[in-house]
Chain A
Amino acid sequence: MEKGRLPSDVRGDVLIKAQEATGEWGNIPTERPIEEHVKFGIINLDKPAGPTSHEVVAWVKRILYMNKAGHGGTLEFCKRIAE
């Protein structure tokens, strides 16, 4: 394989089976209302080397939900192995 390429980088073409207009429900992902964007979001975090992933998750939760009393639900993030 070409250097830098993984099998999941190979994307196919899109085939059209039928066409239809879309209604007013939902939003395109980049235009979601901000609370929804955060709630359905993924953070690509450069995790500091010392703390465990668990601790880092707790910090992120605290940062984002600072003003909210109550639970944010189960959180997990794309964890990175940092140096």
Chain B
Amino acid sequence: MERATKVVQSWLPAGKEYVCVMRLHKEVAHEKIEAVCQEFTGPLYQRPPLRSSVKRRLRIRKVYFTEVLEILGKDVLIRVGCEAGFYMRKLVHDIGEVLGTGAHMLELRRTRAGPFKEDNTLITLLNLTDAYHYWKEDGDEQFLRKVIQPVEDGLVHLPKFYVRDSAVDAICHGAKLTAPGVLKLSDNLKPSSTAVILTQKGEAVAIAEAIMLSKDILEIDHGVVANTKKVIMPRSKYPGWKFFKKTKED
């Protein structure tokens, strides 16, 4: 909702997971299906289909894993984990080619989007309506809190910076993150890593791009360590630098 919309962009490069029903044009031995599906892992060549918004160049996209869930006659239920920009329809077509039977996709369901999957956070419009009514009519917040996740849950997949309270408001105004502001950090930061800046209480301040390695950030005591890309927290939630300057002088 509202400001939380900014986090959706950080999911775009994250991997995706799909479950799909593949219909083969002839029945095939189960072991052969399993074997061929396993072959389709790792980096694969693909050219985007006719109906797509991207340039139709041959490109490489990774498949992280494939799993055959169920086979019923000519229908195969598979689960695939892949890089963003990978076309499942093409994968199904290619598996059909290798099996020699031909195949097409009957149904597709994306089972993951960024850090969200089909777990107890997945709700229906009805759940949402009920939760809202419990709040408005009975003053009971608990259901609304269960069906709506805090924006931070949309950012757990990113490496983190935890910053001092005194650094927060500047970042809300777009300031870059400097070494003295950092209290804790993930150990897997590299130049151009997308990361999330959090307060000590775990609130998302902004999405940033690191400019050096974690081990170097740990050592230096001044200088910029990350560029703020998208501010999430509204300004003035935390006091500005003037407030902290005053208290330091006391």
Q: Which residues of A line the B interface, CB within 8 A?
A: 1-20, 22-23, 25-30, 32, 34, 37-46, 48, 56, 59-60, 63-64, 66-67, 72-83
Contacts and interface: CB of A to CB of B under 8 A. Distances in A.
Nearest to A31: B201
Contacts of B217: 17
B184 to A, nearest CB: 5
A23 B144 CA distance: 28
Nearest to B147: A43
Interface in B1-48: 1-5, 7-8, 11, 14-17
A37 B65 CA distance: 36
Secondary structure at the A interface, as helix, strand, loop or mixed, is: loop
B184 A42 contact: no
Given A12-B187, A15-B187, A60-B128, A42 B153 contact: yes
Contact of A72 (B2, B67, B144): B2
Given A5-B64, A13-B187, A32-B150, A22 B201 contact: yes
B60 interface: no
B249 to A, nearest CB: 17
A2 B65 contact: yes
Which interface residue of B114, B124, B201 has the most chain A CB atoms within 10 A?
Answer: B201
Contact of B183 (A1, A16, A48, A80): A16
Nearest to A77: B1
Interface of B: 1-5, 7-8, 11, 14-17, 64-65, 67, 79, 81, 107-110, 112-116, 118, 121-125, 128-129, 132, 135-136, 141, 144-145, 147-154, 156-157, 159-160, 162, 164-165, 168, 182-188, 199-204, 214, 217-218, 237-239
A48 B125 contact: yes
Given A16-B183, A30-B150, A38 B14 contact: no
Nearest to A13: B187
Contacts of A7: 14-15, 64
A29 B202 CA distance: 7
Nearest to A33: B141
A40 B1 contact: yes
Contacts of B160: 14
Contact of A41 (B1, B16, B184): B1
Nearest to B107: A83
A41 B65 contact: no
A25 B238 contact: yes
B1 A78 contact: no
A27 B200 CA distance: 10
Nearest to B120: A44
Contacts of B218: 15, 17
A19 to B, nearest CB: 7
Which interface residue of A17, A64, A79 has the most chain B CB atoms within 10 A?
Answer: A17
Contacts of A59: 125
